[in-house]
Amino acid sequence: MVNKKKVIIAIIAIAIIIGGLWGGIVWHQSLQSEELNAPLTIVDGVGRTVTITNYPDRIVSIAPSCTEILFALDLQEKVVGAPTYSGYSSEIQEKISSGEITTVGSFSQISIETIVSLDPDLILAKGGYQLSTAERLVELGKTVVIVIHQGFDGLLSDILLVGEITGQNEEAETFVGDMESRAQEIVEKTKDLTKPRVYVEYYFNGGFGSYGSNSVVDELISMAGGVNVFTGFSGQYLETSTEEILKANPEIIIISKGAMSELCGLISQTIRDRPSWDATNAVQENQIYEIDENLITVAGPRIIDGLEELAKILHPELFPNR
């Protein structure tokens, strides 16, 4: 019977179509996480549009500052890979040395293979040099979000962005709110005071390594109520000379203590012993201080501590309890 056959075929066809649709809907729904109703579309630090369909469970950070932001937002359980970095807080350092977090290389030498082998659902990278590494990861179909930490405010919005894409909005807002109010307090307190001229050195080898106006250090000094003596130099780092120092005549000299300063044995005595440097106000008044470079040079969440430290050095009168 031709008709019967046709009917059976029609029924089967309808069943397949309905089944397919139903399966498709179920499958589509299973793709959506319970936490996220609609895919989230954000624009990252370099202007790329990134769509997040699920809050990530396996995050790889390829820049130290990104690792710090993730930890600050209580995401340490979800971080599966991070680069090595000597300046991490001990909490991060432990997780890495215990192997809970896999090392994916160093900031400049990232192993693509290690990252892929971790099967991450979100990769956080920093702009600048890491662009080419990030490009490769994008090409491999990974979800990559690039941040650039442009200044203090840029850092705050980066933290909010990371909070948004990881479902830690509240933590991020609280954290950023706290940073803002702490920064605001210092700016308010110091804005009408006289601004001391500050020279920060992190390295010497013939010339003296300091920071120009493009650096976070420069911004922090001005927020803390001082003036970086090399704020007129538009680069981030510069190498300078004794003559420039004498011309600038800093009132406060700060040693940015870290790997670089240790390498050349830079301590306050070194500065005092330099010929002719005793002509500067800072050496005469013995205004030579040290600060942990990780607090003032890495554009991460600890920068607010760096700002407070700087303010204490620049304006000790504001912090009598110290």
Partner 1 sequence: MIQSEPQSSHLKRLSRWKIIVALLFFTLILAIIFSVAIGPMQISPIDVYTILTKNIPIIGNLVESGASNIETEVVLQVRLPRVFAAAIVGVALACAGVVLQGLLRNPMADPYVLGISAGASLGASLAIAFGFGISFLGFLYAIPFMAFIGALGTIFIVYSISSRSGGSSMLTLLLIGIAANSFLSAIVALVQLISSEVLHGIVFWILGSLQVSGWNHVFVASPLILIGICIIYFYARDLNMLAFGETQAKHLGVDAESLNKRMLVCASLITAAAVSISGIIGFIGLIIPHITRLLVGPDHRILIPSSALLGAIVLILCDTLARTIMSPAEIPVGIITSLLGCPFFVYLLLKKKSSFGKWH
Which residue ranges make up the site for partner 1 (CB under 8 A)? 46-48, 84, 102-114, 116-117, 119, 127-133, 135-136, 138-140, 214, 234-237
Q: Which is nearer to partner 1, 298 or 313 (CB)?
A: 298
**Least distance CB 81 / partner 1 (angstroms):** 9
Closest CB 228 distance from partner 1, rounded Å = 16
Of 82 and 223, the one with the shorter C-beta distance to partner 1 is: 82
Residue 146 Cβ vs partner 1, minimum distance, rounded to whole Å? 9
For partner 1, give the closer residue by CB, 234 or 284: 234
CB neighbour list of residue 308: distance below 8 Å, 6 or more residues apart: 182, 186
In the complex, the smallest distance separating the C-beta of residue 46 from partner 1, rounded to whole angstroms, is 4
Q: How far is the CB of 102 from partner 1 (least distance, A)?
A: 7
CB closer to partner 1, 113 vs 273? 113
Angle, nearest 10°, between helix axes 169-190 and 303-314?
Answer: 10
H or E segment and range at residue 15: helix 2-31
Burial category of 157 from C-beta neighbours within 10 Å (exposed 0-12, middle 13-18, buried 19 and up): middle
Whichever of 142 and 257 has its CB closer to partner 1, that residue is 142
DSSP letter, residue 251: S
Instruction: Give a three-class secondary structure readout of 112-168.
Output: HHHHHHCCCCEEEEECHHHHHHHHHHHHCCCCEEEECCCHHHHHHHHHHHHHHHHCC
Nearer to partner 1 by Cβ, of 117 and 169: the residue is 117
Task: State the DSSP H helix or E strand holding residue 263, giving kind and residue range, or none if neither.
Answer: helix 259-263
Tell me if 73 sits within 8 A of 56, measured CB to CB: no
Alpha carbon distance 60, 82 (integer Å): 6
What phi, psi does 109 have (nearest 5°)? Answer: -125, 80
Q: State in angstroms the smallest separation of the CB of 237 from partner 1.
A: 4
* Bridge pairing between strands 144-147 and 122-126: parallel
- Nearer to partner 1 by C-beta: 63 or 252? 63
| Distance of closest approach, residue 169 Cβ to partner 1, in angstroms | 26
Least distance from C-beta 139 to partner 1, angstroms?
A: 5
The residue among 149 and 315 lying less far from partner 1, judged by its C-beta, is 149
| Sign of the Cα pseudo-torsion (284, 285, 290, 291, in order) | negative
Select from 145, 149, 176 the least CA-distant residue to 160: 176
Choose among 263, 315, 285, 291: nearest CA to 277. 285
